[in-house]
Structure 1
Amino acid sequence: MITHLHPDPGPPGTQTLARGIAIVSAVARGQRRLRGIVEETGIGRSTTHRLLQLLVTAGYLRQLDGAYSLGPALIELGYQALQENPVTTVAAPVLRELAERVHDTVHLAIEDRGQVLYLEKIPGTRGAEMRSRIGHRMPMTRTGIGKALLIDSPDRWRAKFASERPVGAGNGIHHDVLTPDTFVAVMKQAAATGVTLDLEENEPGIVCVAAPVRDASGSIVAAVSISATRPYMPPERLDALRPAILRAAGKVSSELGYRPDPDDHSTDWT
């Protein structure tokens, strides 16, 4: 993906800052060498080299044998940003309790720039390790936790599904047979129950149940999920975990000030 910058008559230093951000972003997307960074950002070679050296000196990048990677300053800032997110702080004890009860992998995620961004992961004590990790991004329509983040946005369902579906093939077992119409039908059912599922759509062999987290305004600000390999998540257990995930999401939502409609029994967390 090329992210060439365009001239911007902003405050002094704006262009330099924008170029620095573009370079860090290019490295984060996997560009490790000067040539690749130049090609992706469209910034001149000499300017790119100068900014790379500045970013290395400041700790935002590191360099080893001519290859660049993200530096320790970003790790520190990322950890601080994570800790300052009220959802992460509030959810921590609820996630730990849930993980101890179910013995499966528990996730907390938010939507960021149209993708799932994982804020927390507590690995399960059985089954195979899954590829999700803190700071990792996943598609929204192919993950249970992403669908939970989308559950209040019917106007986005069809277009989001189409934009995330790989050209020519699905990505996983069930995504191959889903169409925009069937995906919308699945989401309508999820909206009625407050629970979403991932039936190996994102990662073969991994099944997930998820629910949204709301703040005092009722807006979805995060989602929680329970994930396991298929042998540990047969249909009957998937159904049995629906109340558990609703209770966990409800506890976090309550701590954030959310008070559900007393007439809405789909989110009964007692």
Structure 2
Amino acid sequence: MDDGADRDTVIGKVVLILRAFSADDHTVGLAELVRRTGLHKATVRRLAEELTTVRLLDRADGGYRLSGGLFELGMRASVERGLLELAMPFLQDLYERTHETVHLGVIDGREVVYVAKIGGHRQASAPSRTGGRMPLHCTGIGKALLAHADPELRRKVLSAPLERRTPRTIVAPGLLARQLETIVEQGVSFEYEESAMGIACVGAPILDVATNAPVAAVSVTGPIARFRPDAHVAAVRAAAGGIASTLHRRAGLREG
């Protein structure tokens, strides 16, 4: 993953350290942080201690872990952006209609970042998690975003090697490009075991009413053994359209 961090600045080094933690980490030792970041040991130790002081890291079991302070900042950013607050009623309604795993995601670089994930006891064992990332090209929600993204971003994704996450991941640029064109025409995207085996997905973009640019996307995911994505097209489209309209009205009220 391209973290975009500048190793020559303090902020860049801090970003490298924070992003060195994976979703499965409970505690990461100093030596492992040095290995993952490629920074000098003294630099990592000094910055990690400073991050502990400001509650972005915690000390634990001879190493460090991400602190609750980061979660607070992330939730504050989501609320200020307004997207999660406005989208949640539509996401909850979509879950009630489908009783499958519902996602809300946004573009960040060449990845989708999951802003929200709603699922009950029947939810699919999808690799997604709130705050987590996945490549745009192999997820239903990511493809919905990529299909409507800036042409330059599409060009970059299609010209770079496409990571194969499963045997069914689309890694041929021409095939992916044609699928993106179909998504634009139909307004929905599909995934069949492309990000993880055993799951299927249908997604739809949340488009800015004024510019037609993708603000976010919504999807429903379920086990491929029983879940039929095409049966939920109307519900997913309706949720995406409802969120888009609500965002547009909110923007109009602010301008007024």
* Superposition TM-score, scaled by structure 2 size: 0.84
Aligned residue-pair number: 244
Q: Which of 25, 32, 35 does residue 31 from structure 2 map onto? A: 35
Q: Which of 246, 254, 261 does residue 245 from structure 2 map onto? A: 254
Paired residue type of 2:93? E
Q: 1:18 to 1:219 in 2, by over 3 A?
A: same
> Secondary structure of 1:141's partner?
helix
> Secondary structure of 2:125's partner?
coil
Paired residue type of 2:30? L
Q: Which stretch shifts more, 28-37 or 115-124? A: 28-37
Instruction: Tell me how far 1:67 sits from its aligned partner.
Output: 1.6
Q: 1:211 to 1:231 in 2, by over 3 A?
A: same
Instruction: Tell me how far 1:47 sits from its aligned partner.
Output: 3.1
Paired residue type of 1:201? E
Q: Which stretch shifts more, 200-209 or 147-156? A: 147-156
* Unmatched runs of 5 consecutive residues or more in structure 2: 250-256
Q: 1:17 to 1:123 in 2, by over 3 A?
A: same
Paired residue type of 1:104? E
Q: Which of 91, 101, 105 does residue 97 from structure 2 map onto? A: 101
Paired residue type of 1:192? E
Whole-angstrom distance in 2 between the partners of 1:52 and 1:193: 48
Q: 1:230 to 1:18 in 2, by over 3 A?
A: closer
Instruction: Tell me how far 1:130 sits from its aligned partner.
Output: 2.3
* Superposition TM-score, scaled by structure 1 size: 0.80
Instruction: Tell me how far 1:62 sits from its aligned partner.
Output: 1.1
Paired residue type of 2:243? V
Q: 1:185 to 1:246 in 2, by over 3 A?
A: same
> Secondary structure of 2:204's partner?
strand
| CA deviations over 1:231-267 (Å, ceiling 9, x no partner) | 2223xxx223111111110000001118xxxxxxxxx
| CA deviations over 1:173-219 (Å, ceiling 9, x no partner) | 4226x522111111111111111001111111100000000224321
> Secondary structure of 1:97's partner?
helix
* Unmatched runs of 5 consecutive residues or more in structure 1: 8-14, 259-270
Partner of 1:136: 132
Q: 1:44 to 1:174 in 2, by over 3 A?
A: closer
Instruction: Tell me how far 1:162 sits from its aligned partner.
Output: 5.5
CA RMSD of aligned residues (A): 2.6
Partner of 2:253: none
Partner of 1:204: 197
Question: Where do 1:29-178 residues align within 5 Å?
Answer: 32-126=28-122, 128-153=124-149, 156-157=153-154, 159-161=156-158, 163=160, 165-166=162-163, 170-175=164-169
1:142, 1:198 within 8 Å by CA — same for their partners in 2?
yes
* 1:240 partnered with 2:231: yes
Whole-angstrom distance in 1 between the partners of 2:102 and 2:18: 30
Whole-angstrom distance in 2 between the partners of 1:94 and 1:220: 17
Q: 1:48 to 1:252 in 2, by over 3 A?
A: same
Identity of aligned residues (%): 34
